[in-house]
Amino acid sequence: GLPDAAFWWKERATCCKVRARRFGSQRQLVVVEPSSTAGVAVLKLKNLPVNSFSLEFLTELIINLEKLENDKTFRGIIITSDCPKAFSAGVDLREICGKNPAHYTEYWKVLQDLWLRLYLSNLVLISAINGPCAAGGCLIPLTSDYRILADNPKCLIGLNETRLGISAPFWFKDPLVNIIGHRASEHALQLGLLFPPAEALQVGIVDKVVPKDQVQSTALSVMTQWLAIPDHARQLTKNMIRKPTADLLVKHRDTDIQNFVSFISRDSIQKSLQMYLAKLKQNKD
Ligand SMILES: CCC/C=C/C(=O)SCCNC(=O)CCNC(=O)[C@H](O)C(C)(C)COP(=O)([O-])OP(=O)([O-])OC[C@H]1O[C@@H](n2cnc3c(N)ncnc32)[C@H](O)[C@@H]1OP(=O)([O-])[O-]
């Protein structure tokens, strides 16, 4: 029969398609375009205003990634934002506030799906981070192979969950530790640090900082370097390096969902999320 992971993907892909039909949206929240480089797609996140992860947006994102993964013409994806205000504001707080446990369960499962789809992708993934990138929004860069950030003081990046009174899940923490090391992660995660570009580069959460109007062209030239390596060798190596981290989530998905649902359902947590959302609305420019 199919190996576990493949079986699981087939089942989850079907779930996504069923959910997409339920939304039946007319809006296109994810736009995929071919780039000027053969074999490279540009995937633009377009859930206005700030690419927060609504269930509908996550579903559309997974479906588009799945299509690219299965399309033999593509070897790499540049992921960027088509929202002027942000690369991504992370989890849509309206999905984890004031809903019921069944909703939280479905939401968390889909967020895990996105992580696994990206982290174990056979394609080269480059994040072209052209706006602020907070908390869950970092899921995309942290699971990419390379990260380029726009040099603009507004372009803060980091896992600021603790500032909302919540904790990032272990599958956000692990890639961060793999990327920036244990001590820097301990510091960044506990304080919920959002790094401006120069600091982001120094700590290593991004690989390159360039002027905003060069983010896209830099992503393409970096992609060319990565595509110079034969796919099979690069894919085997990527898998070898990432498998131990990915297996932790694959093996502990259900417990992780249970933990999340019971945590997020607490009155005290709901209160602090509502306060954060109210503060966001007050602080508008
Ligand atoms: C569970 C554990 C793991 C994961 C955790 C997370 O990801 S937790 C997430 C942690 N994320 C953060 O801490 C990031 C929070 N966001 C920000 O810091 C800023 O929005 C910004 C810097 C991204 C853009 O600043 P800007 O001044 O250019 O724009 P603006 O601020 O005016 O926003 C425009 C509209 O979007 C709204 N909205 C924004 N984010 C969210 C959201 N996540 N959800 C829902 N709505 C959100 C905002 O209220 C406003 O709505 P309104 O009033 O028009 O109806």
Give me the mean pLDDT over the 154-160 stretch: 98
Does the C-beta of 141 come closer than 6 Å to ligand 1?
Answer: no
User: What pLDDT, in 10s, does the model give residues 189-199?
Assistant: 999 999 999 99
114 Cβ closer than 6 Å to some ligand 1 atom: no
pLDDT band at 10 (very low <50, low <70, confident <90, very high): low
Q: What is the pLDDT of residues 24-51, one digit of tens each?
A: 667 899 999 999 999 999 999 999 999 9
CB atoms within 10 A of CB 167: 17
237 Cα–ligand 1 center, Å: 36
Q: How far apart are CA 275 and CA 280, in angstroms?
A: 9
- 43, HSE (Cβ side, Cα atoms, 13 Å): 27
Which CATH number does the domain housing residue 181 bear?
3.90.226.10
Q: Is the CB of 281 under 6 A from ligand 1?
A: yes
Residue 231, token pair as written in the block: 């796919």
Beta bridge partners of 114: none
Percent of the chain exceeding pLDDT 70 equals: 91
CA of 155 to the centre of ligand 1 (A): 14
Among 280, 282, 284, 285, which is best to mutate for testing ligand 1, by the most ligand atoms less than 8 A from CB?
Answer: 280
Calculate ∠ Cα 63-64-69, nearest 5°. 95
Q: Please say whether the dihedral angle defined by the alpha carbons of residues 182, 186, 192 and 194, taken in this order, is positive or negative.
A: negative
Supply the DSSP string of 224-252, one letter for each residue.
Answer: HHHHTS-HHHHHHHHHHHHHHHHHHHHHH
Q: How many domains does the chain have?
A: 1
Q: Predicted confidence band at 57 (pLDDT cuts at 50, 70, 90)?
A: very high
* Side-chain-facing half-sphere of 254: CA atoms under 13 Å: 1
pLDDT band at 18 (very low <50, low <70, confident <90, very high): low
Token pair for 177: 């530790």
Looking from the CA of residue 93, the nearest atom of ligand 1 is: 44
Residue 5 has pLDDT above 90, yes or no: no
* pLDDT value of position 285: 55
Shortest-distance atom of ligand 1 to CA 156: 22
CA distance linking residue 36 with residue 20, whole number of Å: 30
pTM of the predicted protein model: 0.94
- Show the CA angle centred on residue 125, arms to residues 81 and 169, nearest 5°: 80
Is the pLDDT confidence value at 139 over 60? Answer: yes
Quote the ipTM score: 0.99
Say yes or no to pLDDT of 6 above 70. no
What would you report as the CA-atom Rg of the chain, rounded to the nearest whole angstrom? 18
CA of 99 relative to ligand 1 center, distance in Å: 18
Q: What's residue 182's pLDDT?
A: 98
Query: From the CB of 11, is ligand 1 less than 6 Å away?
Result: no
Distance from residue 81's CA to the centre of ligand 1 (Å): 15
Token pair for 72: 């033999």
Q: How far away, in angstroms, is 78 Cα from ligand 1 center?
A: 23
Least confident among 2-6, 27-31, 39-43, 236-240: 2-6
What is the CA(223)–ligand 1 centre distance, in A?
30
Residue 119 CB neighbours (<10 A): 21
> Which residue's CA is minimally distant from atom 35 of ligand 1?
49
What pLDDT, on a 0 to 100 scale, did the predictor assign at position 149? 99
- Please state, rounded to an integer, the average pLDDT across all residues of the chain: 94
Host domain of residue 136: 4-282
pLDDT of 232 above 60: yes
Q: Is the peptide bond before 3 cis (omega within 30 degrees of 0)?
A: no
